[in-house]
Amino acid sequence: MKKIKVTRTVHKKVPWYEKPTLLFVVIGVCLLVVGILLARVTGKAGENALRSGVVTAAPAAPAQDMTHVVELGGALPATAPGGLLPPIRVRTRTDAQNARAVLRAARGAGEPGADQSEYGCVDGRRIVELSRQGALSAQAWAQLPLARERREWCDFEVQRGATGDAVLLAFVAPDVAEALGALGSDFALAPRDPVADPPWWQIWKKRTKTAGLVLRQGSRIELYPDIDPNADCLVALPVARLVPRGARSVNTGLASPVDVLEVELR
């Protein structure tokens, strides 16, 4: 009788990385995780780059360090038409109203609709909208309708002089006010620094640090429509030297968000 030979089939275990379906799933998950990480890093770097060019409102600096900012009630120097008056530091909302009145009197701004000088209010976001449309020329500023009633936390006061010059009243951080006051009445901005800082993506390179804030042509600052704990200095900036770049809402603990205007100096 012939003996039947029995053979056993051994199934070799295939590694997971040799299984196409499972391999593609793992690759897809890895790419998704890497993509999310890169997006977060790129977003943070871009945000830091944008903020690096904007002077934001930092905590209030000590008053003794401010030599180019006057306190409310202090004497304002005589300034030629169109000249920059020194910033005024205020403490309360009532002081802010009084400081606005002081700047109006110093510039001779009368009621809206007057034959010569006047003042009124403009929505900050409207200013940005007109700027993006290319309609914010000197003539447009002169013809811009001014509202008599000012809405808190969103409207900026504009004063137009008898000679046709116009200024925008806003609150800035103390270090920004000190740097603006140091420019003098002629608002003499220094040219751009020829030794520019490295691009934002070169995070391994150090950036230059200065002892104090220096404003130059192209510097960007933030303007607040009302007094803020971190922006308590009132300035009157010539609109011809401002290029609105954007507006954002900031929650500062008040009843409503504050519309902060970002402008570029020129």
Look at residue 172 in the predicted model and tell me its pLDDT.
94
**3-state SS, residue 106:** helix
Q: Which amino acid, residue 219? A: S
CA nearest 169: which of 107, 116, 114?
107
CB 81 within 8 A of CB 198: no
Phi/psi of residue 49, nearest 5 degrees = -65, -40
What are the Cα distances from residue 238, in Å, to 74, 119, 138, 204, 227?
Answer: 22, 14, 11, 39, 19
Three-state DSSP state, 209: coil
Q: What is the token pair recorded at 229?
A: 């704990």
- pLDDT in the model for residue 95: 92
Task: Using DSSP, state whether 105 is helix, strand or coil.
Answer: helix
- Where in the chain are the domains? 16-48, 59-198+213-265
CA distance 56 to 52: 9
pLDDT score recorded for residue 79: 67
Quick one: how far is CA 207 from the chain centroid?
A: 20
Question: Do 254 and 153 meet the contact criterion of CB atoms below 8 Å apart?
Answer: yes
Cα distance between residue 32 and residue 28, in whole Å: 6
Tens-binned pLDDT, residue by residue, of the chain (266 aa): 555 655 555 555 666 656 667 767 778 887 888 777 776 655 554 444 434 344 445 444 444 467 889 888 877 776 666 678 889 999 999 999 999 988 888 876 655 555 567 888 888 888 877 777 766 666 667 667 788 878 877 888 888 877 667 888 999 999 999 999 888 888 888 887 655 566 656 666 666 665 678 888 889 999 998 998 889 999 999 888 888 888 888 776 666 778 888 888 98
Q: Are 224 and 171 in contact (CB under 8 A)?
A: yes
Q: Could you tell me whether strands 70-71 and 54-55 are parallel, antiparallel, or unpaired per DSSP bridges? A: unpaired
